[in-house]
């Protein structure tokens, strides 16, 4: 502890660096401080920061600047929160213990197969933050490009489940769904869960926040109700309403997956094996038994061809069976966005329009959600084969799905109104014709440049669909932003590209 404004010999005073290192604990120390010199710490060294019995693995960054004193150790936001610091505490910084798992990492780099024990050792260290980003990048790279066979994928998936917390439910069957992504506005979960739950089927849905997209399911749901639920709250909502829509990161489900995703995205390495392990480990961890997976296929979606979709589906089904999950995969149209809104609040407005059965609700979002809900009802045994769609449609059109959604939101902390952006800008068609193509990736990029998902109200609205006739000057996209500068930046991006919405002259 701090004594008379000083710290004990060999220790450093805690200082908050106020630097966001996104899940990676980092400690900053003067290169010429006594501890750094005595321990022989090099830049990027893996160290342990110790306070009050808590030990946090961290990456060391050496500082040669006067903003940090010789008796201080500055910590990133992640490290600060993990140690529960207030400021001024006396910290010990020491060398991290050698990690046995690194020998398995080196073995994989050289092409050796890893069994469950080896995978578990690696995933345990990854989940507890003991591997540096350099080690993580090496692991992700060594596993990409088809370098994991099916037994290794099964071992990886099981290890990712076992390292984290696993929820068990007293009811059965427990249903779940997932979309592999790459399609803006595809926010069917917020419709599927209340439809399925209103039919008496259990569906405790945990979802992710956006990583590279303009909105994740949790981001969109958060504009309508709280999503950061602990397990006790999740259980209470599910036991009372039959379903929930929560952020998975608050329950420590498959925690190594979140760490690996953080490294995969900058490397742009989203291999099939790691996608399968990521999706299925989260489903198993939340206690799901039967899972429906939506795989959109299109030239600017994540999955580009039916052949790639079939390969992915086969792996999802077989690995799912190996870890006790019944998995079904449905291939859907990924050539264009779903709904109109792209961004948390704009997607939430689409969802509410469908639930309220408004005449101007996006029909493609409604139809896709009903199809998926119908399939889930059949998988759960609630509807006979071929009758699930009709049951889902009746449940939505009767208003029961809306009542259930409101009840779920109230159980999670209360239904609220999505925010609206302060600034908008319309992008109009330069000439007449028909919509020939819509670039999902660049449209998503424009929504992000406008401020989504950081600003929940920001994003874009798409006004046209493939094959529709378009007149010169007709609105194609409306950009939404909370700041004029971001709006201008997004508009400049849209205008600098070959058309995001391609118009074929008639």
Tell me which residues are annotated as active site: 270
Backbone angles phi, psi at 365, to 5 degrees: -65, -45
Angle at alpha carbon of residue 380, lines to 334 and 404, rounded to 5°: 80
User: Among 173, 220, 181, which Cα is nearest to 380's?
Assistant: 173
Determine the Cα–Cα distance for residues 215 and 414; give it in Å rounded to an integer: 21
Count of C-beta atoms within a 10 Å radius of residue 482: 19
Give the length of the chain.
506
**Token digits for 8?**
């004990």
Checking DSSP bridges between strand 175-179 and strand 90-95, what pairing results, if any? unpaired
CA–CA distances in Å: residue 97 to residues 14, 103, 353: 22, 14, 55
By the 10 Å C-beta count (0-12 exposed, 13-18 middle, 19+ buried), 488 is classed as: middle
**Token digits for 93?**
């910084």
For the stretch 258-285, what's the b/e string if a residue is b when 16 or more beta carbons lie within 10 angstroms of its beta carbon?
bbbbebbeeeebbbbbbbbbbbbbbbbb
User: Among 212, 185, 220, 239, which Cα is nearest to 440's?
Assistant: 185
């Amino acid at each position: 502890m701090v004594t008379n404004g000083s710290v004990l010999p060999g220790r450093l005073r805690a200082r908050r660096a106020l630097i966001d290192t996104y899940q990676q604990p980092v400690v900053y120390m003067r290169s010429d401080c006594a501890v750094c010199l005595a321990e022989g710490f090099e830049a990027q060294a893996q160290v342990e920061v110790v306070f009050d019995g808590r030990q946090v693995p961290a990456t060391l960054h050496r500082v040669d600047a006067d903003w940090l004193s010789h008796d201080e150790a500055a910590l990133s936001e992640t490290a600060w929160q993990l140690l529960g610091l207030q400021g001024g505490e006396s910290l010990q910084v020491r060398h991290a213990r050698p990690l046995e798992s690194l020998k398995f990492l080196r073995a994989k780099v050289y092409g050796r197969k890893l069994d469950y024990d080896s995978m578990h050792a690696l995933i345990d260290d990854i989940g507890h933050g003991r591997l540096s980003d350099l080690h993580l990048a090496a692991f992700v790279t060594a596993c990409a490009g088809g370098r994991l066979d099916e037994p290794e994928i099964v071992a990886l998936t099981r290890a990712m489940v076992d390292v984290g917390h696993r929820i068990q439910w007293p009811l059965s069957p427990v249903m779940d769904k997932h979309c592999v992504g790459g399609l803006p506005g595809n926010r069917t979960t917020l419709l599927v869960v209340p439809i399925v739950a209103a039919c008496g089927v259990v569906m405790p849905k945990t979802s992710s926040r956006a990583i590279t997209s303009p909105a994740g399911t949790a981001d969109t749901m958060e504009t309508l109700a709280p999503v950061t639920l602990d397990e006790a709250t999740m259980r209470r909502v599910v036991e009372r309403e039959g379903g929930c829509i929560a952020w998975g990161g608050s329950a420590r489900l498959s925690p190594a997956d979140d760490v690996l995703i953080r490294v995969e995205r900058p490397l742009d390495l989203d291999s099939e094996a790691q996608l399968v392990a990521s999706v299925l480990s989260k489903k198993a961890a939340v206690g799901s038994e039967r899972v429906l997976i939506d795989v959109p296929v299109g030239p600017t979606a994540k999955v580009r061809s039916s052949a790639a979709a079939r390969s992915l589906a086969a792996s999802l089904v077989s690995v799912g069976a190996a870890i006790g999950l019944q998995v079904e995969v449905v291939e859907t149209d990924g050539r264009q966005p779903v709904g109109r809104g792209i961004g948390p609040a704009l997607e939430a407005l689409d969802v509410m329009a469908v639930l309220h059965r408004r005449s101007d609700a996006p029909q493609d979002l409604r139809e896709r959600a009903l199809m998926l809900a119908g399939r889930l009802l059949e998988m759960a045994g609630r509807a006979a084969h071929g009758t699930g769609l009709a049951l889902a449609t009746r449940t939505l059109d009767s208003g029961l799905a809306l009542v259930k959604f409101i009840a779920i939101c109230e159980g999670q902390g209360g239904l609220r109104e999505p925010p609206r952006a302060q600034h908008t800008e319309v992008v109009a068609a330069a000439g007449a014709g028909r919509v020939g193509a819509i670039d999902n990736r660049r449209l998503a990029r424009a929504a992000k440049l406008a401020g989504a998902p950081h600003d929940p109200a920001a994003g874009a609205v798409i006004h046209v669909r493939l094959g529709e006739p378009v007149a010169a000057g007709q609105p194609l996209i409306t950009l939404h932003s909370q700041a004029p500068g971001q709006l201008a930046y997004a508009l400049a991006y849209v205008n600098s590209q070959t058309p995001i919405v391609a118009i074929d002259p008639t």
